[in-house]
């Protein structure tokens, strides 16, 4: 499979929809086994391992979070948090069929709510994708929040 620009953009939109619809196990399946989800703490942060981040989770940690969100005994999720992504059209930064690497850039607004509390975030999502087993998979999702260095309340779901 050699994905087209439309297939790459559709993948990003579908990923956000899965989160918005709380279809977390399906969303988790979009990640490669070595996939990571990273949310830097500093503006233009380049180092992800030796610098503090808002979030840096590999697939094992993502799976644990999904299990917690789906769990009946997760009292911090009664009632369950809800969210909604508003995406700009995903831009395709690079297509490398030979190297099996596809990079996208998507500005977004994100709203998350639970009870009477609502969190609004704005930023940019950068995806590094590969075709694995005939399907697109997320190798890395980097989410940069405009006010990344401000104090934040708990972000329960996935931006």
pTM summary value: 0.92
pLDDT at 13 over 80: yes
Domains of the chain: 5-145 (3.10.450.50)
What 3-state DSSP class applies to 24? helix
pLDDT at 4 over 90: yes
From the number of C-beta atoms within 10 Å of its C-beta (0-12, 13-18, 19+), residue 77 rates as middle
What does the pLDDT average to over 139-147? 95
What does the pLDDT average to over 119-127? 95
Q: State the chain's mean pLDDT as an integer.
A: 92
- Is residue 127 a contact partner of residue 25, using CB atoms and an 8 Å limit? no
pLDDT computed for residue 97 by the predictor: 97
pLDDT at 154 over 80: no
């Amino acid at each position: 499979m050699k994905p087209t620009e439309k297939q790459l953009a559709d993948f990003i939109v579908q990923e956000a929809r899965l989160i918005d619809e709380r279809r977390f196990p399906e969303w988790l399946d979009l990640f490669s086994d070595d996939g990571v989800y990273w949310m830097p703490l500093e503006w233009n942060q380049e180092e992800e391992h030796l610098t503090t981040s808002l979030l840096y989770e590999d697939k094992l940690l993502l799976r644990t979070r999904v299990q917690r969100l789906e769990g009946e005994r997760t009292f911090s999720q009664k009632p369950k948090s809800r969210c909604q992504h508003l995406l700009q059209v995903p831009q395709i930064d690079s297509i490398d069929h030979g190297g099996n690497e596809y990079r996208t850039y998507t500005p977004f607004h994100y709203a998350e709510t639970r009870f009477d509390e609502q969190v609004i975030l704005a930023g940019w999502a950068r995806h590094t994708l590969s075709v694995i087993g005939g399907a697109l998979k997320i190798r890395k999702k980097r989410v940069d929040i405009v006010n990344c260095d401000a104090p934040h309340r708990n972000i329960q779901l996935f931006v």
